[in-house]
Amino acid sequence: MLARQRHDKILKLLETRGRVHTAELVDLMDVSSETIRKDLELLDSQGKLTRVHGGAVPLSREDQKNGLAGYVPLKTRSGQNLEQKAAIARRAVQMVEEGQSVALDYGSTSQIMAMALRDSFSQLTVITNSIQNALLLADNPGITVILLGGILNRDELTLVDAFSTVLDNFHIDIMFMSVTGIDPDVGLTDQRLSEMRIQNKMHRLAGRTVVLADSSKFGRTSLLKICSVQDVDAIITDSGLDAGMRVRFGAMGANLIIAQTDSPADTKASLRA
């Protein structure tokens, strides 16, 4: 059975059953679980279904209308909260030293961080799965860019899939993680399984993980949990974060750093209980 035929069959099964399981698809199509996994990841990256543990579920009617579940296109996000994201990036570069290895994931905040690194260092190694990050960093000849290979996700301009196993060979001094939601109870969440896997692997390999999240991300959750708040070393956000949320994160012992948008000076929130 050709890949396109498998994809059509998977989508038809989703319409009639409401969910498909990987093991079931393996038996039905007489292919390996790896083949089905790649099929589901590709369909997820194209916004045709939502990949979940053990299989996939269809997009809701509202998701289909918008193109993806609650999804805001990268081009749109790249024009949102620019002042806040710039302040976060200015603070984040202070945590990096010349010659270190840095991991960047994907998204609009990550892109601004890539520009900040490009403009702030003369020698650095940056590992990323974001094509746009790689192109931005390429403007600085002193930065070695390691772009992870994989299947192209056209929505986010990322490369995803099993090729990320090459990460196992790298030492990462610090990872800067961007998220779609950050909640004190649920933790750090994202909405794309393939990208989330790479984020998690970068996080596990990094000496330090720092989350970059503007205040609009707080109190929000997405489908996929990356890790808990306690699993990261610091969270940098902007001064728009409300007092109640600051207290909640402080009570958890979170290393919450507030980047001031109105001046280069940044204030660390000492909110531990």
Q: What is the CATH number of the domain that holds 93?
A: 3.40.50.1360
Helices (H), the chain: 3-17, 22-29, 33-45, 61-66, 74-77, 82-93, 108-120, 131-137, 193-205, 243-251
Domain shared by 83 and 53, yes or no: no
d(Cα 66, Cα 166) in Å, to the nearest integer?
35
Please report, rounded to a whole number, the percentage of residues in the chain having pLDDT higher than 70: 88
Structural domain contains residue 148? yes
Task: For 89-223, list the strands marked E by DSSP.
Answer: 101-104, 124-128, 143-147, 151-153, 158-160, 172-178, 181-183, 187-190, 206-212
Domain shared by 62 and 79, yes or no: no
pLDDT tens sequence across 254-266: 999 999 876 444 4
pLDDT at 162: 59
Domain shared by 110 and 219, yes or no: yes
Which pTM value belongs to this model? Answer: 0.72
Residues forming a β-bridge with 193: none
Structural domain contains residue 37? yes
Domain shared by 89 and 187, yes or no: yes
pLDDT at 171: 93
d(Cα 238, Cα 92) in Å, to the nearest integer?
12
Structural domain contains residue 41? yes
pLDDT at 59: 65
Domain shared by 102 and 176, yes or no: yes
Number of C-beta neighbours around residue 142 at 10 A: 11
Domain shared by 198 and 226, yes or no: yes
pLDDT over 90 at 193, yes or no: no
Structural domain contains residue 197? yes
- Rounded mean pLDDT of 13-19? 81
Question: Hey, is 185 helix, strand or coil?
Answer: coil
Structural domain contains residue 130? yes
Please give the mean pLDDT across all residues of the chain: 86
Number of C-beta neighbours around residue 33 at 10 A: 11
Domain shared by 250 and 118, yes or no: yes
- Closest among 234, 240, 237 to 254, alpha carbons compared: 234
pLDDT at 72: 64
Residue ending a domain, choose from 66, 98, 121: 66
Residue ending a domain, choose from 66, 91, 107: 66
Question: Hey, is 159 helix, strand or coil?
Answer: strand
Residues forming a β-bridge with 177: 211
pLDDT tens sequence across 111-140: 999 999 999 999 999 999 999 999 999 999
Strands 187-190 and 224-227: antiparallel
Phi, psi of 139 (to 5 degrees): -70, -15
Domain shared by 53 and 123, yes or no: no
d(Cα 70, Cα 68) in Å, to the nearest integer?
6
Residue ending a domain, choose from 44, 66, 88: 66
Q: Which residue has the higher pLDDT, 84 or 269?
A: 84
Domain shared by 134 and 106, yes or no: yes
pLDDT at 121: 98
Contact 20, 13 (CB under 8 A): yes
- Closest among 166, 104, 94, 98 to 131, alpha carbons compared: 104
Domain shared by 161 and 258, yes or no: yes
Question: Hey, is 114 helix, strand or coil?
Answer: helix
pLDDT at 149: 86
d(Cα 13, Cα 173) in Å, to the nearest integer?
45
CATH number at residue 40: 1.10.10.10
pLDDT over 50 at 163, yes or no: yes
pLDDT over 70 at 66, yes or no: no
Structural domain contains residue 273? no
The tally of domains found in the chain comes to: 2
pLDDT tens sequence across 223-237: 889 999 999 999 999
Domain shared by 46 and 107, yes or no: no
Please report, rounded to a whole number, the percentage of residues in the chain having pLDDT higher than 90: 56
Range of the domain at 28: 3-66
Structural domain contains residue 116? yes
Domain shared by 176 and 225, yes or no: yes
